[in-house]
Structure 1
Amino acid sequence: MKWCGVIVQACLLGVLWPPVSVLAEEQTANAQPIKHRYLLSINLAPASCTLHPETRELRQCQEGYSLIVHGLWTEKSATNKPTICSDKPPELSPVQQRVLEKLMPDETVRNAAWQKYGACMGLTAQQYFRAIMSYTNKLKLPEMFKEEGLDRQVDRDELAAAIQKLNTGLPEKGFYLRCQTKQDKTFLTEVRVCYDKEGQFAECKTFKPNCPDYITLRAIK
């Protein structure tokens, strides 16, 4: 497990990141407020690495990560075909890059998130990744996501209830689970969580769960 416990802490590497309210103030000052809610995508690396062989050389697959941040985008963009808004990698300080490696270990993933999502939101790279840090800091996930050894089948509704119980103020439709099937197993691959621009949990306007009643949690190998 590469996160600070189950929650990603802002204390990583001793760097304190400004809260999301600061980001909202920056957006207002720049006359580019985000009108839509944010959607944070957390990928379950063991399942993703199993289902997508082309990713197996990435650090997130090679080094035993359990959870990684896939990206942050507005809910409106989740309903549209992704657009590449920048052909340049994000400009970040070495300290920022070291912090982000705890959440997004692979540079290719960070670059893609910025080019497809962050650059399309009217934010600087620093603002975008600061928002990712702040939003992820607020989220708690069950200990079962860290387990090693054997795969585990879980009840979808019980898992959703456990996530909601861990996160005060998280609406029942403020998050949803995404799954993919390979042969006879349906793996949980993603948890999507919705926030308002102040960094508070919010009900998702676009609610698209697709997991069956029972799903498989891929263990860390």
Structure 2
Amino acid sequence: MVCRILSAVIMALFLATASAANAQERPTGNFDFYVLSLSWSPTFCAGNRGKDSPDQCATDKPFRFIVHGLWPQNERGYPEFCANTQPRRVPEDLGRAYFDIMPSMGLIGHQWRKHGSCSGLSQEAYLQTTREALNKIKLPADIATASGPLTFSAAAIEDKFLDANPGLRPESIAISCEGNRLEEVRICLAKDLSFRTCAEVDRKGCTINRVNVPPPAR
């Protein structure tokens, strides 16, 4: 029995060490395209996680679409938590300059460590590229400025983005739902931030017929 326990402990330590080594060897900047993830802030703020995010969810912060992240992506899967020469922590004076689109240091820091670290960019360049990616997108006005609850099908939300953004194709966008509420809109962009298709991302999108779009809390 003791030998079996010791063997199990040794094996667990070996696997943990191997996993850490593999993480350090993940190449940064080696990916196929970006996914710009736009989060519907009122859905996030209505959940338990929103209670711990006053910078985003206080009643005087009526955010609607915000940037969840700009994610390096491959045709299948994606890299994450890549080793690079940049610090893990994003300085607050750098992060706060992006609070209009990513309204908390917790969000910015996590996105940098998990996704930005794999972009091959510095922290400053990654955040600037995130802003440039958002600036490429025209948000549908009837959703982005809504003051009351709305309901659409997932397909209708996609269509609104397609109509507002010439060149964006149905295979380049996916809706994410949290239950029956709008969670995110994910748009695939080439490394030069032009629109491009992304079969795996599109295939995983929400397709329900009634997606509730809650308004900001007051």
Q: CA deviation at 1:123?
A: 1.6
Q: Take 1:134 and 1:72, find their aligned partners in 2: how far apart are those partners?
A: 10
Deviations 1:49-101 (A, max 9, x none): 21x31322312111221111111112239835853757721247x4x544311
Q: Take 2:44 and 2:99, find their aligned partners in 1: how far apart are those partners?
A: 18
Match of 1:146 in 2: 145
Q: Take 2:75 and 2:95, find their aligned partners in 1: how far apart are those partners?
A: 25
Q: 2:50 aligns with which of 47, 55, 62?
A: 55
Q: In the superposition, relative to structure 1, how do residues 34 and 138 fare at CA in structure 2: closer, same or farther (>3 Å)?
A: farther
Match of 2:81 in 1: 83
Match of 2:196 in 1: 202
Residue pair 1:91, 1:126 contacting (<8 A) in 2 also: no
Q: CA deviation at 1:158?
A: 2.1
Q: Take 2:79 and 2:32, find their aligned partners in 1: how far apart are those partners?
A: 17
For structure 1, list consecutive stretches of 5 or more residues without a partner in the other structure: 1-31
Match of 2:13 in 1: none
Residue type matched to 2:90 in 1?
P
Q: CA deviation at 1:141?
A: 1.3
Q: 1:104 aligns with which of 102, 105, 111?
A: 102
Matches within 5 A, 1:125-164: 125-143=123-141, 144-149=143-148, 151-164=149-162
Q: Secondary structure at the match of 1:109?
A: helix
TM-score, normalized by length of structure 2? 0.75
For structure 2, list consecutive stretches of 5 or more residues without a partner in the other structure: 1-27
Q: Secondary structure at the match of 1:56?
A: helix
Matches within 5 A, 1:164-179: 164-179=162-177
Q: Take 1:136 and 1:161, find their aligned partners in 2: how far apart are those partners?
A: 18
CA RMSD of aligned residues (A): 2.5
Larger mean CA deviation between 114-123 and 102-111 belongs to 114-123
Residue type matched to 1:148 in 2?
S
Aligned residue pair count? 183
Q: In the superposition, relative to structure 1, how do residues 100 and 210 fare at CA in structure 2: closer, same or farther (>3 Å)?
A: same
Q: Which has the larger radius of gyration?
A: 2
Instruction: Report which of the two has the higher share of helix.
Output: 2
Match of 1:18 in 2: none
Residue type matched to 1:56 in 2?
K
Q: Secondary structure at the match of 1:173?
A: helix
Q: Take 1:204 and 1:81, find their aligned partners in 2: how far apart are those partners?
A: 16
Q: Percent identity?
A: 23
Q: Take 1:104 and 1:124, find their aligned partners in 2: how far apart are those partners?
A: 17
Match of 1:40 in 2: 36
TM-score, normalized by length of structure 1? 0.74
Q: Take 2:168 and 2:38, find their aligned partners in 1: how far apart are those partners?
A: 16
Match of 2:186 in 1: 192
Q: Secondary structure at the match of 1:212?
A: coil
